[in-house]
A and B are shown apart, each in its own frame.
Chain A
Amino acid sequence: MNYSGGFLQNMYVNLLKARMLEEKIVELYHQGRVPGSVHSGVGEEATFVGGCLALNEDDYMMTTHRAVCANWTKGIEINKIFCDLFGKKEGTNCGKGAAIRICSEKVLGMSGTQGGVFVIATGAALSLKLLNKKSVVLAFFGDNTSNRGTFHESLNIASLWKLPVIFLCDNNQYGISINIKDSTSVENIADRGVAYNIPTKIVDGNSILAVYEATKEAVNHAKSGNGPYLIEAKTYRFRGHMEGDQRSYRTREEESQWMEKCPLRRFENKLLEQGVITDTWIVTEKNKIEKEIENAISFAENSIDPGKEDLFKDIYA
């Protein structure tokens, strides 16, 4: 497909923002400034950003614990993202749900038990269908999460009722320490689609354009009333399951092979070759993003903690 220079630049900026955000969170964690665990999504940003960019503003999204960056792509203010990371009152969840539960009207939040995403996203899609809304729900999930029963129950119902939901697997090869070969009976998560009569596509998860195009196709499919779609994006988790994980279960050689396929560098080189962007432009953009992130950190670190008045608030509506 042919894309305009402006489109590609915007896509690059989103990818760069995602990388810089994910890296900054890691840095803050090691400085002792994050009051919780960090499950870094460094290396997997093309999957999340490519997926989110294929959505319209009125489409819904659910990310995983792996990708805080997806929330930024989907339009949540960076100030709020850092407030949630630090558990501050001014975040989207008032210090109650951590960075994994950043939310908005269109970002439906996250299930702390893996696999909750399937049922919630399918239910949201049912709601959209009943309300005759022309929107879709994009649900990210990890490879090992497809082994939960909720995956199978949800894909069956979503297909049976032709619900507008896209299941996008962030296959980063690992569920904590377990390689997909040791957790999953099929080679590809997408192989499971056939059991539920759902169309599937396997894409290079480190190619933002490939993920974007596959998701666009799935969105069109779902919006035309044809039901759900299963996309598998094959990528790699550059860091451990969480910061502090020593990665004893895999080799450094394996890691460096994947790092050769860094989604940001690949896209950057491509655009540089095509003359869509220049080195100077990149530096300018990086500086802008860096400033935006630093301002947001400063805002969040200086904002207040939730207090007694918030403790019992919102248990019930």
Chain B
Amino acid sequence: MRKITFAQALNEALHEEMMRDEKVFIYGQDVAVVGGLWKVTTGLLDKFGPDRVKDTPLSEAAMAGMAVGAAITGTRPIVEIMFADFLAVCFDEVYNKAAKWRYVHGGMFEVPLVIRSSMGATFGGSAEHAQCNEALFMHTPGIKIVLPSTPYDAKGLLKTAIRDNNPVLFFEHRALYNTKGEVPEEEYTIPFGKAEIKKQGEDITVVATSRMVSRSLSAAEDLKKEGINIEVIDPKTIVPLDIEAINQSVKKTGHLVIVEEGNRTGGVGAEITALVQENVFDFLKKPILRISSLDVPIPFNDNLKNMVIPSTTKIVEEIKTLIKK
């Protein structure tokens, strides 16, 4: 099968969905003429024209809020918020408007919008250009949250997001944009709320999201040499969350580790931990382990940053320690 990058896969999804449905349009800072800082929107302006592919001023609150206004009146906007950190600038529009507009108006409106945002600690980024803040929104009923980890998933999930009649936050890890993977030429979509076992194993269940999926898979190879066979589960969407798949795996292994790039307190791992102990407590042989970024603003210096973000080595060491306990 052909291999393309994560960014190319997203770009294909946008081309295909905009071709399929003329109510779909996209705007954001620098998305039109230069095709986006992350090159995800390349070629859209030429193909679909300036009415459907628009560069916006630096106005995140308007960008996110306008998507709600457009969505409730019959179009299907896609907004690119350049950095997930900048979602803080339009938090009201995401948290109070997008998430709640349908409910507080008694179901009068559908709110079919997608906010795409890049995230993650990568080269040169620091506190306000590096965060994985999906947990902030997981706390908010009314939004769906997507965290693709491969080019294949990125494409299929983005197509599903665009077709969904609800607000969807779609987080793209910047370190993944140039990673390559197999993506078929044929049309496909990937359902929300269905986890995938990325690697089978019997000893420990590892739930990982976004970039942490590949790091967990690398860790799995190292751990195999030590005789530890982990199972890596990628939920793909944390809202809706396929908790049943996680429960089933924990029933088999008796151990749960959650690996996320967001920081620890009140994180995605904390929520999954709570759910699993509620659901399958009796199957757990040891305490649930959370491997996450540390509770500090992400520093610029690489030496410091590497202490904050979970590395493959750290995942391996922590799992080994858990087993020895």
Contacts and interface: CB of A to CB of B under 8 A. Distances in A.
A156 B69 CA distance: 16
A251 B67 CA distance: 43
A161 B54 CA distance: 10
B220 to A, nearest CB: 34
Interface in A82-104: 91-97, 101, 103-104
Contacts of A105: 108
B160 interface: no
Residue among A95, A103, A129, A314 facing the most chain B CB atoms (10 A cut-off)? A314
A178 B65 CA distance: 27
Given A127-B74, A130-B51, A120 B69 contact: yes
B65 A315 contact: no
Interface stretch (A146-154, A169-177, A186-194, A216-224): A146-154
Interface stretch (B35-43, B93-101, B210-218, B288-296): B93-101
Contacts, number: 148
Contact of A124 (B70, B97, B105): B70
B68 A123 contact: yes
A123 B77 contact: yes
B25 interface: yes
A199 interface: no
Contacts of B52: 130
A129 B25 CA distance: 12
A316 B166 contact: yes
Contact of B65 (A108, A119, A313): A119
A289 interface: no
A167 interface: no
Contacts of B92: 113, 116
B56 interface: yes
B105 A157 contact: no
A201 to B, nearest CB: 24
A161 B103 CA distance: 30
A292 B52 CA distance: 47
A119 B74 contact: no
B227 interface: no
Contacts of A130: 23, 25, 51-52, 70, 75
Contacts of B101: 109
B104 A97 contact: yes
Nearest to A121: B69
Residue among A104, A126, A128, A157 facing the most chain B CB atoms (10 A cut-off)? A126
A128 B62 contact: no
A39 B125 CA distance: 47
A103 B104 CA distance: 10
A195 interface: no
A131 interface: yes
Nearest to B142: A315
B56 to A, nearest CB: 7
A109 B144 CA distance: 22
A116 B57 contact: no
Nearest to A60: B73
A122 B102 CA distance: 18
A96 B62 contact: no
B279 to A, nearest CB: 20
B175 interface: no
A127 B106 contact: no
Interface residues on B, range: 35 or more
A259 interface: no
A102 to B, nearest CB: 9
A160 interface: yes
A317 interface: yes
A113 B57 contact: no
B65 A150 contact: yes
B106 A157 contact: no
B104 A96 contact: yes
B61 interface: yes
Contacts of A156: 57, 59, 62
B104 A93 contact: yes
A127 B108 contact: no
A122 B97 CA distance: 14
Contact of A91 (B25, B73, B106, B144): B106
Nearest to B112: A317
A126 B69 contact: yes
Contact of A127 (B65, B75, B104): B75
Interface string B100-134: 01111111111110000000000000000000000
B105 A119 contact: no
A112 interface: yes
Contacts of A124: 69-70, 72-73
Contacts of A313: 107
A68 to B, nearest CB: 15
A41 to B, nearest CB: 20
Given A111-B96, A156-B57, A315-B103, A123 B69 contact: yes
Interface of B: 23, 25, 51-52, 54, 56-57, 59, 61-62, 64-75, 77, 92-93, 96-97, 101-112, 141-142, 144, 165-166
21 contacts: A92-B106, A94-B106, A97-B105, A103-B105, A105-B108, A113-B92, A119-B61, A119-B62, A119-B64, A119-B68, A119-B97, A122-B66, A123-B67, A123-B73, A126-B66, A150-B62, A153-B57, A156-B57, A161-B54, A316-B142, A317-B110
